[in-house]
Chains A and B, each alone.
Chain A
Amino acid sequence: MNRGFMDRSGVVLPLLLICLLALTALATVAIHAARQEIIIADAATRLLQARLSAEGGIRQAGGVVTSDRLLALRERAPEDVLERATPTMGSVVVRGHRLPADFVLFEGVGSPSGGRGGEVRLGRLVWVLDPHRIVSSFSSTLVHGGSLTLSGGMVDGGEVARAPEDWPTQVCSGHWAALDSIFPPGGMAASTIARPDDPSPTDLGNLDLPHLLALADLVAEGSLTPRPILDAGACLAGDSANWGAPSSPEGSCGPLVRLVISPTSLHLASGEGQGVLVVAGNLDLTDGMRLSGIVLVGGNLRLAGESRIDGLVRVGGDVRIEGGSEVSGSGCAALRALESPVFQRSFPVSDGSWVGGF
């Protein structure tokens, strides 16, 4: 049966459907692209969160984890030393890996907030000052690079594992076991010429002079008379002239130890102080000046007028000890000097400490 023209179905509907299909496809592509963009942007944000969490955690660990905690880590047995999480900026776990020679690798594993997304690992290499290793790096009580002249003075190196003569025994009671293991029976040599493999005279472990200068409690120059300063029996630690009281180790200024740096030369007269003293130039001690701790001198050292150092001394140049002055070896005084709070933390490797790509 023939169908009439008006009976035939039209082409408009299929055409319309095809157009709608094309429109839907295009819209879907556009929506998909926009959605992908949002997902990728979100992933990039999370990656940044994780990376910053790792970096922030490592920085925080460097500030709050003490050197004792890090020195207690064992090699190839990493331990978590810090955990931190914030609702908006992700979370981090910092592990401490103990390496040889008192280095530690902080490994931060950062995750984005909400836990969705990958982890980012970042590391930072730090060095920790081990007081025992510092003390054991001295081959004698007085290590000197130039000549040694004794003119009515002396260097006493024997029985270095002892306290200064006028200190009560209990001041050093916590150090005896370590000192016995560091120093051979019978003590150490009074003085030796510096060997080629000895540290630079003004280095304290891996901390060189610029680094020490940045850490210093005090920067000293010229001629000074440090002394313990008390107010109503309380030690005024904030006074820059107060370098502690080695003559009264159990007094209120007895525990005060300083890290004092002199970028030039220094003259100390008729006073007392304790801690670590680093002098880039020459050091003169006169008029009964008394120091206790570790003394590092880049230039020459002169003691005169019954001055005295109890502890360990390293000098780059000549040493002259005269007029009843004395350098007396004391491992205990040296270890006490390293109890300064500035050494109770970790120090990033100065020539590039961050480690990525693992």
Chain B
Amino acid sequence: MRGVTLVELLVATLLVFLIAGSMATIVSTQNRASLWVRDESEGMETVRTVRVVLGAELRHGLEGRDWWATGGDTVTVRAFRGMAEVCSLGAEPTEFVVLYRGIRQPNPDKDSVLVLSQEGRWETRGLERIEMQEGGCPGVHEESQKWTLDRAVGRAVFVRIFERGSYHLADGAFRYRSGLGGRQPLTPQHIDDARSHLGASEGGVDVVVELERRSDARWRPDPVPDHWRIWPAERP
């Protein structure tokens, strides 16, 4: 009978170890590379989300009226969600009929309004009630709405609707808090809170976002903090 010698067995075992070891190394390296790509991608997405969201919310607002930076990690905002052209004033000084457009429907439970008067001044009011109206705006086929405010307002020209909210760099993520609700994460938890910052500067906002350093990745370069300023479209 043909058989295998001890030498053959040793050589085969050695080869198996060599091949298996090489394969394990390659798989491990690939795995780390894959995790690195994923982490980098999430990190960049985190920074980009902070840039896009804060840019959209703050650039066209006014510091002190539309947003306030506090505590180095929070920006409280009037988050504008729609606008309305005033078609006519109602029977009561608190009422008017509007044509509304927005990224969502107005909600009296959480929304307030900023009303532009004929004198060119903005006034803040609470939104009490909304009723849909057919043909409330002459010459327009779109459905109009009758809005009732909590207090009378001068001759209204235009209305913006907003909810109170705040953006935070906290607990490792960029978060949004609507009204008195909880702070919901908008990004993965990659942010180093202690080194990141949100602060008012020259009518705009200085933002520093530093991603946290991963302890399990000694061979990765240290994260570089992203630092930028959101310049206001309108200087005060």
Residue ranges of A at the interface with B (Cβ–Cβ < 8 Å): 4-6, 12, 15-16, 19, 22-23, 26-27, 29-30, 33-34, 36-37, 40-41, 44, 47-48, 51, 55, 76-77, 97, 99-101, 103, 105, 122-123, 125, 127, 206, 348-358
Contacts and interface: CB of A to CB of B under 8 A. Distances in A.
Contacts of A37: 40-41, 44-45
B34 A351 contact: no
B6 to A, nearest CB: 15
B201 interface: no
B37 A125 contact: no
B119 interface: yes
Contact of B48 (A4, A44, A97): A44
Contacts of B107: none
Interface string B1-29: 11110000000000010011001001100
A37 B49 CA distance: 13
Interface in B47-96: 48, 51-52, 55-56, 60-62, 65-66, 79-83, 85-87
Interface stretch (B153-161, B190-198, B210-218, B220-228): B153-161
A12 B16 contact: yes
Given A30-B37, A41-B48, A44-B48, A105 B158 contact: yes
A65 B60 CA distance: 22
B152 interface: no
A172 to B, nearest CB: 29
Interface in B160-200: 160, 162
Between A23, A353, A354, the greatest number of chain B beta carbons within 10 A of the residue's beta carbon is seen for A354
Main secondary structure of the interface of B (DSSP, over half): mixed
A12 B22 CA distance: 13
A12 B19 contact: yes
Interface in B123-176: 137-140, 155, 157-158, 160, 162
Contacts of B33: 26, 30
Given A23-B30, A99-B86, 12 more contacts: A26-B30, A33-B34, A37-B45, A76-B99, A100-B86, A100-B157, A127-B120, A206-B119, A352-B66, A352-B122, A355-B80, A358-B83
Interface residues of B, number: 59
Contacts of A55: 233
Contacts of A16: 19, 23
Contacts of B80: 355-358
Nearest to B78: A357
Given A41-B44, A206-B119, A352-B122, A30 B157 contact: no
A358 B103 contact: yes
A212 to B, nearest CB: 14
Given A19-B27, A37-B41, A354 B157 contact: no
A19 B27 CA distance: 8
Contact of B137 (A41, A76, A349, A351): A76
Contacts of B155: 100-101
B41 A19 contact: no
A62 to B, nearest CB: 12
B230 interface: no
A37 B39 CA distance: 11
A355 B34 CA distance: 43
Contacts of B103: 357-358
Contact of A34 (B37, B45, B158): B37
B110 interface: no
A206 B155 CA distance: 14
